[in-house]
Amino acid sequence: MIVLLLLAKLTAADTLPLTLDQALATAFGRSPAAASARVAETQAGAALAGGLAGLVPTASGTLSYGKATSPFGSAHSTFGDSSWSWSGTLTLAQVVFDPSVFSGVVSAFAYSSAGRADARDQTARLVYDVTSGYLSLVKAEMLAQAATAAAKRAQASLAVTREKRRLGSASDIDLMRAQVQESQSRLDFLSADKGRSLAESDLKAKLGITEPFHVRPVETVSAPAALTLSDPDSLVREIERRNPGLASAARAKTAADANYVGSIGRALPSVSAYWSSSYADSNLPKSPRYWDDHDLAGYGLRFAFPLLDIKSYVLGVVNAGTEARRANAALVAARLALGSAARAAVLGYQEASDRFEVARQNLDLNQRLYELAQEQYRLGGLSLTDLASVEAGLSQAQAAHASALCDTYIQAAQIAYLLGRTEKPQINTDEH
């Protein structure tokens, strides 16, 4: 709520600092995806209520005032007699046996369950999208910082080379190489800054923010994601068991099968119990008792034979069978797609985790190498070309380390999404 109030006060020149918790809160308050998840939850409840309505007794009533003309005249009338009177009916009906109603109840439960699973899937997807968007912006800022550091190093090397050229210990070629390196570092910074702007725009879209101000993450990742994959195959099976998207497809298939069985069952007659009351009098019924004194009541069982309308019956069976086959194909496709996505997510996390360990070691080596190379260059024991190569290696190592670090969390967040988790992921962060 605090974040939403702050959003209303910001101007185009302002910057909104956000933690991941605040980003998620903003998304749940403003994002269209969050609204869609709430609608899916509401529709699930409405589907269940609609299916159960067939089991509840139905009541109907009418009341009219009009003239009734008798076709036979009286002794004093050449034409038919006519009079103005009140008439009405009150009917109560209760299903005793109806395959369509019973299959509708089963499919209502299935559709309701599918709707809740779909709502949970949309919520989990929103958490994943916001988390990955936030971490992508963190990564983009880390890459921009690495590009800034590389540009500063290139500027420092250019300053040293200029001084050496003035003293006669560096050639014109050395100076031009330093200038080229410094120019390239500025180009790399511009590319990194563009990536940061794109990541910010993507996060704002996921948060539902349309105002023209900046969003800045106040957390930076300090350690890789702590996800233990002792048995990847077991995790894939767990994803297939808990994934809400697959559960929604399975419930939709159950509902389609129930409708198909119900359409076949329409060959049986349906039975309902009824009670009716018919009122007719020249006076308006002023009370229930007055109605009761002037009505004609009846009750019994009513039988309906839908099979007599053979055309509608056959079309209903064909359509329901087609929907059942379509739902089964959708379930098979969803299961295959989920299995592929689950294995890709597990392999992606393993690759990101291994890449981070290599990137961390590589960054340590490049930092030590740069310190030694910088000292050797000042003493004249290292050429500018070699120093430039070392600086480029350090910049690449910093970028690879930042990417691998954030990618471990993005891949872990994808696994959490496939598991249907809707809570905020655990991230080792430091505020800056």
Residue 32 in contact with residue 209, Cβ under 8 Å?
A: no
Question: What span, in angstroms and rounded, lies between the C-alpha atoms of 58 and 51?
Answer: 14
Question: What span, in angstroms and rounded, lies between the C-alpha atoms of 343 and 183?
Answer: 43
3-state secondary structure 1-18: CHHHHHHHHCCCCCEEEE
Chain centre to alpha carbon of residue 359: 33
Which helix (H) or strand (E) segment holds residue 83: the answer is strand 82-97
For helices 32-52 and 20-30, the axis angle rounded to 10 degrees is 50
In the chain, how many H helices and how many E strands? 10, 8
**What does the pLDDT read at residue 133?**
92
Rg over CA atoms, the chain: 37
Q: Under 8 Å CB-to-CB from 102, ≥6 apart: which residues?
A: 262, 265
Residue 153 in contact with residue 184, Cβ under 8 Å?
A: no
**What does the pLDDT read at residue 328?**
93
- Give the CA distances from residue 144 to residues 57, 76, 379, 405, 431, in Å, rounded to whole numbers and listed in that order: 68, 107, 31, 15, 17
- The identity of residue 362, as a single letter, is N
Per the listing, tokens 């008792």 go with 289
Residue 175 in contact with residue 165, Cβ under 8 Å?
A: yes
| Among the listed residues 400, 324, 399, the one whose alpha carbon sits nearest the alpha carbon of residue 359 | 400
For the chain, give every domain's residue range. Answer: 15-63+84-419
Burial environment of residue 145 by CB neighbours within 10 A (0 to 12, 13 to 18, 19 or more): middle
From first CA to last CA, the distance across the chain in angstroms is 23
**What does the pLDDT read at residue 286?**
81
DSSP type of residue 213: S
Residue segments in the chain with a per-residue pLDDT below the cut of 70: 1-13, 68-82, 229-230, 427-432
**What does the pLDDT read at residue 71?**
56
pTM: predicted TM-score of the whole model, two decimal places:
0.78
- Strand ranges (DSSP E) for 228-370? 270-281, 295-304
Which tokens go with 248?
Answer: 């929604």
Is the backbone of residue 168 left (phi > 0), alpha (psi -120 to 50) or beta?
left
The string of pLDDT tens digits covering residues 48-76 is 888 888 788 888 888 888 876 655 554 44
Question: What span, in angstroms and rounded, lies between the C-alpha atoms of 117 and 422?
Answer: 12
**What does the pLDDT read at residue 76?**
47
| Among the listed residues 82, 194, 175, 159, the one whose alpha carbon sits nearest the alpha carbon of residue 374 | 159
**Buried residues in 302-330 as b, exposed as e (16+ CB within 10 A):** eeeebeeeeeebeebbeebbebbeebeeb
Which tokens go with 157?
Answer: 């090397």
User: Which CATH architecture group holds 15-63+84-419?
Assistant: Up-down Bundle (1.20)
Q: Under 8 Å CB-to-CB from 418, ≥6 apart: which residues?
A: 239, 243, 338, 341, 342, 345
**What does the pLDDT read at residue 210?**
85
